[in-house]
Structure 1
Amino acid sequence: MVLAIPILAGVERALAPAREALIPVLSDTRVLAVWALAVCCSLAVLWWDVRARNRALPSLMKGVWTLVVAYSGPFGLALYWYAGRTQIAHDSPWRRGVRSTAHCYSGCGAGEVVGVTLAQGVLALSVGWVAAATFGFAYLFGYALTVGPLVQEGVGLREALRDALYSETPSITVMEVVAIGADVLLASEATMGDALFWSALALSLSLGFLAAYSVNLLLIRAGVKEGMGNPATMDDG
């Protein structure tokens, strides 16, 4: 496969061995079925824990963690257990970075799923248009998840937009460059009926989270972002 965007040709050649090793695995319907089962089990554990032990979490973060686990299964559940529960022993910049990335990931991931499914799966657009459309949806959903709560808190729309552009653009950009790049590299010719389409999408989302985590951690340490609040302080006993 020759990518339509010339600047990615060198990256494609460098990653060709990994691509050749991953595609047969990701194309196996049994692998996709096992992953879907793992996601369902992870969601069941998350919802049980939220209802039984963590009702104090804000509705926004309950939704955020639900999407994170839906995208990344056991990996997302481990992130919730590490940084998202009221039972964490102590907070830290590392945990704040996880929560901040999870917040970004939930919105951008939804945008990526919608963008890839619509542009590639439904409309069968070329690689360049798939990437462009997916980037657009990811930015739209990512910014909306930041702007919406700020406006609800009484912040003016213009100020909320400015804050979102300032604080979220670096992490969204890095997340989507990695996630969309991985998805295009692995499954640019797959259709919605192929296991590869969905397996590559799930893998690319998690890779995007890992890439954006270091960016969010740097932004928090630099004071650009505060990170999401410590859930331990929300425990109502």
Structure 2
Amino acid sequence: MTGSWSQAASATLHCLTGCAIGEVLGLAIGTALGLSTLTTIVLAVVLAFVFGYGVTITPVLRAGVPLATALGVAFAADTVSITVMEVIDNLVVLVVPGAMDAGLGSWLFWGSLAFALAVAFVVTVPVNRWLIGRGKGHAVVHQYHH
């Protein structure tokens, strides 16, 4: 049993929204403050998870689900997707020569980040398709998205 490609793409785009907000903020803050590469990436990953879960939990809470249950739904829905997305996009940014040392005014910084997020999206869609097809991942949150 597998989910449809359109469901997987939609779930991945949903996940990418929160991840991208956190990733961009984390990399921008870390770069602006002159933090080390490792510290900047850790900050970006933490914020990606915070915003990724935040994008998922908001409609669940609006559906009247108690906070503890809504947190469980968000964790079940997005943990694998966010993890895959973060591993891929950070690896891509790290392998682009000079990307982590480029300033916020650099096309290299923003271009590598956009490219990394696009690659992460492409890699994560099949993962989400597989999860949805098994009633896991973003499939657990669909009942709350009206």
Deviation at 1:184, TM superposition (A): 2.3
AA at the equivalent of 1:226: A
Q: Which runs of structure 2 are paired with 1:160-179 in the superposition (5 Å)?
A: 160-179=70-89
Partner residue of 1:192?
104
CA contact (8 A) 2:77 2:139 kept: no
Partner residue of 2:11?
100
In structure 2, C-alpha distance between the alignment counterparts of 1:228 and 1:128, rounded to whole Å: 33
TM-score (norm 2): 0.88
In structure 2, C-alpha distance between the alignment counterparts of 1:227 and 1:100, rounded to whole Å: 11
Partner residue of 1:141?
51
The answer to whether 1:226 aligns with 2:139 is yes
1:183 is matched with which residue: 69, 90, 93?
93
2:29 is matched with which residue: 97, 113, 118?
118
Higher RCO (C-alpha 8 Å, min separation 6): 2
In structure 2, C-alpha distance between the alignment counterparts of 1:149 and 1:167, rounded to whole Å: 13
What 5-or-longer segments of structure 1 have no aligned partner? 1-91
Query: 1:172-207 deviations in whole A, cap 9, x for unaligned?
Result: 000011011211222111111221011101101101
> Closer, same or farther in 2 for the Cα pair 1:217/1:227, shift >3 Å?
farther
CA contact (8 A) 1:104 1:172 kept: yes
Aligned-residue sequence identity (percent) comes to 35
2:69 is matched with which residue: 149, 159, 175?
159
In structure 1, C-alpha distance between the alignment counterparts of 2:30 and 2:124, rounded to whole Å: 24
AA at the equivalent of 1:185: V
Deviation at 1:228, TM superposition (A): 8.0
CA contact (8 A) 2:73 2:140 kept: no
Q: Whose Rg is larger?
A: 1
1:202 is matched with which residue: 99, 114, 122?
114
Deviation at 1:115, TM superposition (A): 0.8
Deviation at 1:227, TM superposition (A): 7.7
AA at the equivalent of 2:126: S
In structure 1, C-alpha distance between the alignment counterparts of 2:120 and 2:73, rounded to whole Å: 22
Partner residue of 1:73?
none
What 5-or-longer segments of structure 2 have no aligned partner? none
CA contact (8 A) 1:100 1:228 kept: no
Name the SS of the counterpart of 1:188 in structure 2: helix
The number of equivalent residue pairs is 138
CA contact (8 A) 2:74 2:141 kept: no
In structure 1, C-alpha distance between the alignment counterparts of 2:27 and 2:77, rounded to whole Å: 25
Runs of 4+ aligned structure 1 residues displaced above 6 Å come to none
Name the SS of the counterpart of 1:118 in structure 2: helix
In structure 2, C-alpha distance between the alignment counterparts of 1:228 and 1:146, rounded to whole Å: 8
Cα RMSD for the two superposed structures: 1.7
